[in-house]
């Protein structure tokens, strides 16, 4: 790993974020407060929703989604196998069963017809991923998922759009990620977006232990409550709030998000042009008509995927494959094959695409891949 010079992910953190954190320190309040509330408001304005809650991770948002949609023991949730383990673990956390679906060979998004094939009387929801930032074909998804809740794992697609609407606002619940590998990086962080006021009220309770009308003791005093320490629960839950330190970072990162996404799109276009002549390489498709991608991942496919991966590492370029098929993880106990997901798992590689790649870095990635088959 000491030879790695070009990373697959990076971030835009700098002095502005340090100054924002410094201001939080000066305030003497570092928990959930003003900065977190402002981050919620500004994120909502960016994605076109007034029902946004910031949380400590996308995984927390996924766990919260199960509770607020009342998914429980014996229920089933359909998930594309090419996805992160946080999705299936969230389903298991409430005693429900994840049902793994196959994906499209080109887009790596859920095959909509899989929803009809796999749904039963116990199916309560589908939990989809917009792979690499490319939106799913939501018209087809909706056609096959009537009567089911739709949950978006929006970790890859913060600024992706489907016919003018931001991904993460298309279903009943959208779950966003702002961890250290995302374009908007807070170290750890996320958000949950819901479609109506009823779900928002539930999400506010589930975010903090299940407390009804949660407010601080200071706020309770302002409301002239005589016993400002008293609480009541509507349900039991964990603690999924974020804090003002991370939210201050998130607010600055949000201002940089469009520029970073634009840079990634530029790199995408360069890769598409430079690799188009390599007959032994299958390139990712362009986003579906009427959609916009966040270009979070760039994926290529080839027969000797492992050979290229090792060659890139030997030349100081980090690469990986995201995400290892969930149905192949023995713990989940899946029976049967998902042909596309398994072929993708053996042939697909993600290469660097981030806003800090220099022209020299980009050319090194391109030349190294071209040289592999010389």
The tens digit of pLDDT for each residue in 130-187 reads: 999 999 999 999 999 999 999 999 999 999 999 999 999 999 999 999 999 999 999 9
pLDDT at 218: 73
User: Within a domain: residue 135?
Assistant: yes
- Residue spans of beta strands (DSSP E) within the chain: 52-55, 76-80, 97-101, 123-129, 149-153, 161-162, 165-166, 173-177, 190-194, 291-292, 298-301, 348-351
Residues 37 and 55 in one domain: yes
pLDDT at 215: 66
User: Within a domain: residue 10?
Assistant: no
Q: Kindly report the pTM of this predicted structure.
A: 0.94
Which residues, in sequence order, are CB contacts of 309 under 8 Å at separation 6+?
Answer: 319, 320, 321, 349
pLDDT at 2: 61
Residues 274 and 318 in one domain: yes
User: Within a domain: residue 327?
Assistant: yes
User: Within a domain: residue 6?
Assistant: no
Which of the listed residues 203, 234, 254 is the one where a domain comes to its end? 254
Angle at 320 between CA 319 and CA 324, to 5 degrees: 175
Residues 247 and 158 in one domain: yes
- Which of 2-6, 31-35, 281-285, 296-300 is predicted with the least confidence, judged by mean pLDDT? 2-6
Residues 247 and 275 in one domain: no
pLDDT above 70 (res 129):
yes
pLDDT above 70 (res 14):
yes
CA end-to-end distance (rounded Å), the chain: 25
Residues 39 and 103 in one domain: yes
When the pLDDT of each residue in the chain is averaged and rounded to a whole number, the result is: 95
Residues 284 and 140 in one domain: no
pLDDT at 116: 98
Residues 116 and 218 in one domain: yes
The CATH number of the domain holding residue 174 is 3.40.640.10
319 and 350 Cβ atoms separated by less than 8 Å: yes
Which of the listed residues 204, 221, 254 is the one where a domain comes to its end? 254
Q: Stretch 369-373: mean pLDDT, rounded?
A: 92
Residues 122 and 267 in one domain: no
166 and 48 Cβ atoms separated by less than 8 Å: yes
User: Within a domain: residue 345?
Assistant: yes
Could you tell me which residue, 345 or 236, shows the higher pLDDT?
345
35 and 244 Cβ atoms separated by less than 8 Å: yes
For 314-351, the pLDDT digits (tens) are 999 999 999 999 999 999 999 999 999 999 999 999 99
83 and 102 Cβ atoms separated by less than 8 Å: no
User: Within a domain: residue 147?
Assistant: yes
| Angstrom distance (rounded) from CA 256 to CA 260 | 6
User: Within a domain: residue 52?
Assistant: yes
pLDDT above 60 (res 369):
yes
Residues 313 and 249 in one domain: no
Strand order in the sheet with 97-101: 52-55, 190-194, 173-177, 149-153, 123-129, 76-80, 97-101
Residues 264 and 241 in one domain: no
**C-beta neighbour count of 364 within 10 angstroms:** 18
Which of the listed residues 221, 238, 254 is the one where a domain comes to its end? 254
Residues 267 and 350 in one domain: yes
Confidence band for 229, pLDDT divided at 50, 70 and 90: confident
* Percentage of residues in the chain having pLDDT higher than 70: 98
Confidence band for 230, pLDDT divided at 50, 70 and 90: confident
pLDDT above 60 (res 374):
no
Parent domain of 356: 257-372
| Angstrom distance (rounded) from CA 124 to CA 150 | 9
User: Within a domain: residue 7?
Assistant: no
Q: What is the per-residue DSSP string for 174-221?
A: EEEE-STTSSS--SS-EEEEESSHHHHHHHHHHHBTTBTT---HHHHH
The CATH number of the domain holding residue 303 is 3.90.1150.10
| Angstrom distance (rounded) from CA 321 to CA 3 | 19
Domain count, the chain: 2
pLDDT above 60 (res 257):
yes
Residues 263 and 283 in one domain: yes
Angle at 297 between CA 52 and CA 107, to 5 degrees: 95
């Amino acid at each position: 790993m000491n030879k790695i010079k070009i990373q697959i992910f990076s971030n835009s953190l700098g002095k502005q974020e340090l100054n924002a954190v410094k201001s939080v320190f000066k305030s003497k309040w570092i928990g959930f407060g003003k900065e977190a509330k402002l981050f919620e408001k500004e994120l909502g304005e960016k994605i076109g929703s007034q029902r946004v809650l910031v949380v400590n991770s996308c995984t927390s948002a996924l766990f919260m989604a199960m509770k607020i949609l009342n998914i429980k023991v014996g229920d089933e949730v359909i998930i594309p196998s090419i996805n992160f383990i946080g999705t299936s673990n969230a389903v298991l956390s409430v005693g429900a069963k994840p049902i793994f679906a196959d994906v499209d060979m080109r887009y790596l998004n859920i095959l909509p017809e899989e929803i009809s094939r796999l749904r039963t009387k116990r199916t309560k929801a589908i939990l989809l991923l917009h792979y690499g930032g490319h939106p799913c074909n939501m018209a087809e998804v909706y056609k096959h998922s009537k009567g089911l809740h739709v949950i978006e794992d929006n970790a890859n697609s913060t600024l992706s759009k489907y016919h003018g609407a931001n991904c993460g606002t298309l279903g009943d619940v959208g779950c966003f990620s702002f961890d250290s590998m995302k374009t908007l990086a807070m170290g750890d962080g996320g958000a949950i977006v819901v479609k109506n006021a009823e779900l928002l009220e539930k999400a506010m309770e589930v975010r903090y232990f299940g407390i009804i009308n949660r407010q601080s003791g200071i706020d309770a005093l302002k409301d002239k409550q005589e016993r400002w320490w008293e609480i009541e629960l509507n349900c039991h839950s964990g603690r999924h709030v974020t804090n003002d330190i991370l939210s201050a970072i998130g607010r600055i990162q949000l201002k940089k998000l469009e520029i970073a996404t634009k840079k990634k799109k530029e790199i995408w276009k360069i890769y598409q042009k430079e690799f188009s002549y390599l007959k032994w390489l299958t390139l990712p498709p362009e986003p579906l008509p009427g959609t916009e991608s966040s270009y979070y991942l760039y994926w290529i496919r080839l027969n000797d995927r492992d050979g290229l991966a090792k060659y890139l590492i030997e030349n100081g370029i980090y690469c990986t494959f995201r995400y290892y098929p969930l149905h192949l993880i023995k713990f989940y106990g899946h029976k049967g094959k998902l042909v596309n997901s398994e072929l993708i798992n053996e042939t697909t590689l993600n290469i660097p695409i981030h806003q800090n790649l220099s022209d020299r870095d980009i050319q090194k990635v391109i030349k190294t891949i071209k040289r592999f088959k010389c």
